[in-house]
Structure 1
Amino acid sequence: MSMPPQGGWPPPQPGPQPPNQPQYGPPPGYQPYPGQQPYPPQGQWQPPHPPQKGGGTTKWLLVAIAVLLVIGVTIGATLLFTRDGDGPSTPPTSDVPSDIASANDTGPVEIITEEPTCKALTDIVNVLADAQQQGWSDERDSLGPAADWTASQRSHVQTAVTAITNAADQMVSLARQTPHRVVRELYEQFIAYGRAYAESIPTYTPNANDLAGVNVSISNALQGICTAIDQGSARRSLALEDVGPPTTVAPTGDVGNPQRFLAGPATTACEAWAANDSQFLAGTNKWEALDTSIPASDWSPAQRQIQLDALPVLSRFATDMETTGRSSANAVFEDFAVLASLYFRAYVSSGQAYVGSDSWLSYTALRLNNTLSAACRLTVA
């Protein structure tokens, strides 16, 4: 199983595409999602057009009177039914939370090609990265028990934890706004695992590092989703067949206080996930070392062969991801696994037409893989 992320999201700066490496780590020279507006520009509201001329004033007065009569009859009927108790006194309401934009998203998971929360997400992650880079990113993986921390380490951890907690609080709003169920679940799990990591600090032991691993992997996956949208690689989804509907959909709960999606003992799904991951790593050593910024048109014969040899391995891994997710009996696990499989399949679909921006598809899949791997490790910690 691949190791958890080392540190947090890096400070944004221009540079090459993310690497193929499945182990956690920020892509060198990550270029952040630019300041794209979350919604298309909206014009000023325009009043309704006045009625067309030609019918005369008398005609419009008659129409207005007729409308008032209809309204009066309707109101009277409503009052009558209400008074007699034979009709509803209040309009029927849905049992779906009205402030959750994705509450009715119960269909198959898809590659995200539009996401209105990306701009706000990037603003949050940029500030979070600054705090994490003040020592915590370099030290997190090697931290011992809290009782053994130096004053410097304690200060670095507290700075990062404060930023993680504040970011989690701000992402509650984004979880409500996204129209995609799986993106909401990613936000919710960022919140749940980030807060759990913060709560672990007073009695911290190294096992709690995977709480941060899940949290940071999710933030990277979300940024990968947004960057793939911005750079156009998410449109590779047009070449993919639709996947089947979810075997089950998690109920929409309290977005402001989400629970960790894996909190019990190790599951069969986690064991299968670890086995699939190990097999994938063994078959992609050369692919991991490829320079992802080089488009297919500029590959050497050796680079082309490495890429072509890796594609069947990636396809098999994608299939294993979906199969494992659907057999997990865990709706969130399934959604994350299927989403990862789709991003790998989209990457594979690029084939001989590969360009550098397509690397964000595999990057997103790998970060989702890290998310599930770290969450599974916590079940046996």
Structure 2
Amino acid sequence: MTMPPQGGWQPDRPGQSTYGRGPSGSQGQPPPGFPGGQWPQPIPPSKGGGSIKWLLVGIAILLVVCISVGVTLLVTRDSDGGGTSSTDAAPSDVASAGDAGPVSIITEEPTCKTLNTINQGLSKIQSQGWGAMRATLGPAATWTPDERIQIQAVADAMRRAADQAVPLAKQTPHRVIREIYEQFIAYGRAYADSVSDYQPSDNGLASVNVNASSALVGVCNTIEYGSAGRSLSVPEESSPKQLSPVGDPGNPSRFIQSASAACTNWISRLDTFNASTSDWQSRDGAVPASEWTPERRAIEENAAPLLVQFADASSDAGRSSGNAVLEDLSVMASVYVKAYVSALSSYTDADSWLVYTGFRIANLISGACVSISE
């Protein structure tokens, strides 16, 4: 079975080397603990013919993941302080318009096959060198001609992929999946628009776009490999405190639009989390629980309460933020991480997609914070 990279919670800030870069958006060596020391290869169709084994070509340039304990994420949204989407589209245009229930693990998602096709096209262009230059890329005025050509190619590809994702945002029956598609669209277009006067903080725009696609790939793989069934072990979340207006997925707004101390705190929590989980981050996720050594079992048992703490803190921060999209994303990250923890006594490699998905969603939030930092 193709596995997601292990770990990958390290900073992706301008001027720093980046841990865990993969085929979508970057090149380089896989992070420690990845089976065989190679990035995932395409997965062939299953023998049953009716399901598609998803190609892990959207692995994100991994960003900051951190725990925000006791912090209210105050973010500015639209000019009226309300939701984050435009309101032009009729709700009948959007299949998820009636989804007002609690966030939960997705067990069926009809857009996965088309998403895979879009993701393949985008990652093919991103993997031609753009990822290798991204972490240390300076302002546009300092770019070489070759860098400008490469970056413009990626920007154009992001814009095309954003346009292609609009029908999927409308088709998904799940509110949170629609919101992830909308942020993929909004931040992809914003990155493309930034190229003419690019500044290093604009790297965060790309990071949201890449992490959004990777989170969607993760959701699809939890469904395909069956680990989404772990949702039965996770207590149901409460209903959302608020819902974002159902707007036009073809013209969404970015869900974080101005800097705040809350964003700074969200990012700075990474150091504490990393210092507490370094052994867990470098584990080999391909080894099932039935084959764990006493040392490996201790690593997982020591990490479990920290993961639950991360999940609870993320959910609480989102619910207290006053931002409906941030609330949905943070709660979704929480439930996927908790599902991973609930699986540990009978862990198999398929369960690694649960924690992968949770952290990709959390990285999406971190990238949005980076994109508005000075």
TM-score, normalised on structure 2?
A: 0.79
* Aligned CA distance change for structure 1 residues 209 and 312 (closer, same or farther; 3 Å): same
* Aligned CA distance change for structure 1 residues 132 and 109 (closer, same or farther; 3 Å): same
Q: Which has the larger radius of gyration?
A: 1
**Map 1:225-264 → 2, pairs under 5 A:** 225-264=219-258
**Map 1:46-65 → 2, pairs under 5 A:** none
Which residue matches 2:338? 345
Alpha-carbon distance in 1 for matches of 2:217, 2:339: 17
Alpha-carbon distance in 2 for matches of 1:27, 1:361: 20
Which residue matches 1:308? 301
Alpha-carbon distance in 1 for matches of 2:118, 2:344: 34
Alpha-carbon distance in 2 for matches of 1:354, 1:181: 29
- The correspondence for 1:281, drawn from 274, 281, 292, is 274
Contact 2:336 2:354 in 1 (8 A): yes
Alpha-carbon distance in 1 for matches of 2:270, 2:97: 32
Contact 2:203 2:371 in 1 (8 A): no
The answer for unaligned runs of 5 or more in structure 1 is: 1-13, 42-94
Shift of residue 273, structure 1, vs aligned partner: 2.6
Contact 2:287 2:348 in 1 (8 A): yes
The answer to whether structure 1 residue 113 and structure 2 residue 127 are counterparts is no
The answer to whether structure 1 residue 25 and structure 2 residue 21 are counterparts is yes
How many residues in Structure 1 have an aligned counterpart in Structure 2?
Answer: 312
Which residue matches 1:49? none
Shift of residue 17, structure 1, vs aligned partner: 4.2
* Aligned CA distance change for structure 1 residues 231 and 32 (closer, same or farther; 3 Å): farther
Identical residues among aligned pairs (%): 48
Secondary structure of the structure 1 residue equivalent to 2:246: coil
Q: Which residue identity lines up with residue 167 of structure 2 in the other structure?
A: S
Secondary structure of the structure 2 residue equivalent to 1:103: helix
Secondary structure of the structure 1 residue equivalent to 2:253: coil
Q: Which has the higher contact order (CA 8 A, sep 6+)?
A: 2
CA deviation profile, 1:220-279 (whole Å, cap 9, x unmatched): 1111111111111111101111000111000011111101011123153x2453354443
The answer for unaligned runs of 5 or more in structure 2 is: 11-19, 25-38, 52-88
Shift of residue 378, structure 1, vs aligned partner: 2.5
Alpha-carbon distance in 1 for matches of 2:129, 2:268: 33
Contact 2:201 2:372 in 1 (8 A): no
- The correspondence for 2:369, drawn from 348, 359, 376, is 376
Contact 1:20 1:362 in 2 (8 A): no
Which residue matches 2:117? 123
Alpha-carbon distance in 2 for matches of 1:328, 1:187: 21
Secondary structure of the structure 2 residue equivalent to 1:98: helix
Shift of residue 319, structure 1, vs aligned partner: 0.5
* Aligned CA distance change for structure 1 residues 244 and 33 (closer, same or farther; 3 Å): farther
Alpha-carbon distance in 2 for matches of 1:110, 1:33: 27
Secondary structure of the structure 2 residue equivalent to 1:341: helix
